[in-house]
Amino acid sequence: MRLQKPKGTQDIYGKTARGFAYIDELARATFESYHFSEIETPMFESYDLFSRATGETSDIVTKEMYDFLDKGDRHIALRPEGTASVVRAYVENKLYAPEVQKPVKLWYKGPMFRYERPQSGRLREFHQLGVECLGVKNPAVDVDVMYMAYDLFATLGLENISFHINSLGDKESRDAYRTALVDYLTPYKDELSADSQRRLIENPLRILDSKEEADKKIVAAAPSVLDYLSVESEAHFETVKDLLEKLDVPYEVDHTMVRGLDYYNDTVFEVITQSDGQELTICAGGRYDGLVSYFDGPETPAFGFAIGLERLLMLMDAQEVDYDMAEDLQVYVAVLGEKASREAVPMLASLRAQGLTADRDYLNRKIVAQYKSAESFGAEIIITLGDDEVKKQSAKVRNTATREEIDVPFAEIYADFAAVYERMIGE
């Protein structure tokens, strides 16, 4: 029987693993500089958490959720996104209690799961970075969080980044717009895709997000949600645009953007870049002021976003971002003989304790084969350690680039080989 990974999953190693680590390191530094702290939630939760948060008619619930009954007959789902879990943790752990510490700023990372057709940059098990800022409704919060995403992408070295933004308004705005949209779309019902015909009854705003060409042509002339904003929502959105302009953040207003989840209101956004001549969304989010109270917490405005790591890494490769920062091996110990093999154990421990990356041969191969391995690992220094060297308590140390070779006493190797290393490679 040939064992293979499940369809839509990946083994993460080598350059990809280093890319994930690179993003994680820079994201952590960026988010912490904005005073966000990390939170980690379970990879599986109650099915009801996600079905209620994202909406029973959302594609996530109707098509994509990985859900099952566990041994206790509980309906469980692998998390398809991070916001619902963070909000659940916020309510359950009463993170809203200290009034003086608002807003509560949280960031997370980890695997998410959706049963959808695997394609480039999209998997059934994928990874996200996300942030949630809970406790304050202020357009400055929207812009600060959006700018943090912009800051991260600039730090990662990405180019041609811009924002697409929209406002969905408050409940009053959405109710008025929903009526206008249904009135517009109803005459076209038979021309809409099957999914959009269903959505016309269940959630007509989702039709604006359809990827079907026939639907796109119809909604191109649909009324704009921006024409139905309440006074408060319009003022909020105008301030968001003004602040983005003050920060010189490139943006355009896309009145058809609604995002795919039911909990959004007011500001929504996507971060767009170009890849192979096509627009690619690498980050998305917005404001969700009713979700905490929906989960029986206090009235709590909130704003956040999520970034798909696989897609982000694909974009970094396309833009030739140099993130593969794996260091070459600094010291390789070539081992010949039983006594030398024993001596290599504490020697390696000492080298690593001195801050050097070090490795050795474990296969008892001939010296030429060991030297070839050292060079393939990019080792800068080779220590040749045989039984004779153990007897003399001195080893041959070679610079692999210049071929310079010197004898170094064991005492010096154990006491301060880092100094020897710096002398030999000229740093």
Q: What does the angle CA 251 – CA 226 – CA 130 come to, to the nearest 5 degrees? A: 50
Residue 62: the pLDDT is 57
Residue 55: the pLDDT is 61
Task: Report DSSP letters for 126-185, one per residue.
Answer: EEEEEEEEES---HHHHHHHHHHHHHHHHHHT--S-EEEEEE---HHHHHHHHHHHHHHH
Query: Coil, strand or helix: which one is 82?
Result: coil
Same domain, yes or no, for 71 and 127? yes
Q: By mean pLDDT, which of 13-17, 169-173, 277-281, 417-421 is the weakest? A: 277-281
Cα gap 60→58, rounded to integer Å: 5
Same domain, yes or no, for 37 and 84? yes
Q: Which domain holds residue 106?
A: 14-170+230-318
Same domain, yes or no, for 312 and 339? no
Same domain, yes or no, for 250 and 381? no
Q: Is residue 3 part of a domain?
A: no
- Mean pLDDT of all residues in 244-253: 96
Q: Is residue 408 part of a domain?
A: yes
Query: Coil, strand or helix: which one is 352?
Result: helix
Stronger pLDDT, 116 or 112, i.e. the higher one: 112
Q: In what order do the strands lie in the sheet with 75-78?
A: 44-46, 75-78, 67-69
SS3 content of the chain, % helix, strand, coil (to 5): 45, 25, 35
CATH code for position 69 = 3.30.930.10
Q: Considering only CA atoms, which of 407, 406, 408, 427 is closest in space to residue 416?
A: 408
Task: Report DSSP letters for 208-263, one per residue.
Answer: GG---HHHHHHHTTSPPGGGG--HHHHHHHHHHHHHHHHTT--EEE-TT---SSTT
Mean pLDDT of the chain: 91
What's the number of domains the chain is made of? Answer: 2
Name the domain boundary from 295, 318, 341.
318
Residue 119: the pLDDT is 66
Q: Is residue 131 part of a domain?
A: yes
Q: Tell me, what amino acid is at 317?
A: D
Q: Which pLDDT band, with edges at 50, 70 and 90, does 276 fall under?
A: confident
- Mean pLDDT of all residues in 332-337: 96
Same domain, yes or no, for 249 and 151? yes
Query: Coil, strand or helix: which one is 362?
Result: coil
375-398 pLDDT tens trace: 999 999 999 999 999 999 999 999
Same domain, yes or no, for 82 and 143? yes
Cα gap 174→381, rounded to integer Å: 67
Whether residue 60 is predicted with pLDDT greater than 80 in this model: the reply is no
Same domain, yes or no, for 308 and 336? no
CATH code for position 378 = 3.40.50.800
Q: 77 near 46, Cβ under 8 Å? A: yes
CB-based contacts of 226, cutoff 8 Å, min separation 6:
166, 167, 234, 237, 253, 255
Same domain, yes or no, for 156 and 75? yes
Q: Is residue 326 part of a domain?
A: no
Q: Is residue 394 part of a domain?
A: yes
Among residues of the chain, what percentage have pLDDT more than 90? 68
Same domain, yes or no, for 119 and 25? yes
Q: Tell me, what amino acid is at 84?
A: A
Residue 56: the pLDDT is 58
Residue 61: the pLDDT is 58
- Mean pLDDT of all residues in 198-202: 83
First to last CA, the chain: 53
Same domain, yes or no, for 348 and 274? no
Q: 69 near 75, Cβ under 8 Å? A: yes
Q: Is residue 295 part of a domain?
A: yes
Residue 200: the pLDDT is 85
Q: Which pLDDT band, with edges at 50, 70 and 90, does 203 fall under?
A: confident
Q: 313 near 10, Cβ under 8 Å? A: no
Q: Is residue 202 part of a domain?
A: no
Whether residue 256 is predicted with pLDDT greater than 70 in this model: the reply is yes
Residue 53: the pLDDT is 75
Q: Considering only CA atoms, which of 286, 292, 288 is closest in space to residue 302?
A: 288
Q: Which pLDDT band, with edges at 50, 70 and 90, does 338 fall under?
A: very high
Q: Which pLDDT band, with edges at 50, 70 and 90, does 424 fall under?
A: very high
Cα gap 244→250, rounded to integer Å: 8
Cα gap 385→402, rounded to integer Å: 20
Same domain, yes or no, for 25 and 148? yes
Q: Is residue 144 part of a domain?
A: yes
Q: Is the peptide bond before 301 cis (omega within 30 degrees of 0)?
A: no
Residue 207: the pLDDT is 86
Name the domain boundary from 318, 347, 374.
318
77-108 pLDDT tens trace: 999 999 999 999 999 999 998 776 889 999 99
Name the domain boundary from 318, 351, 373.
318
Same domain, yes or no, for 58 and 158? yes
- Mean pLDDT of all residues in 241-251: 96
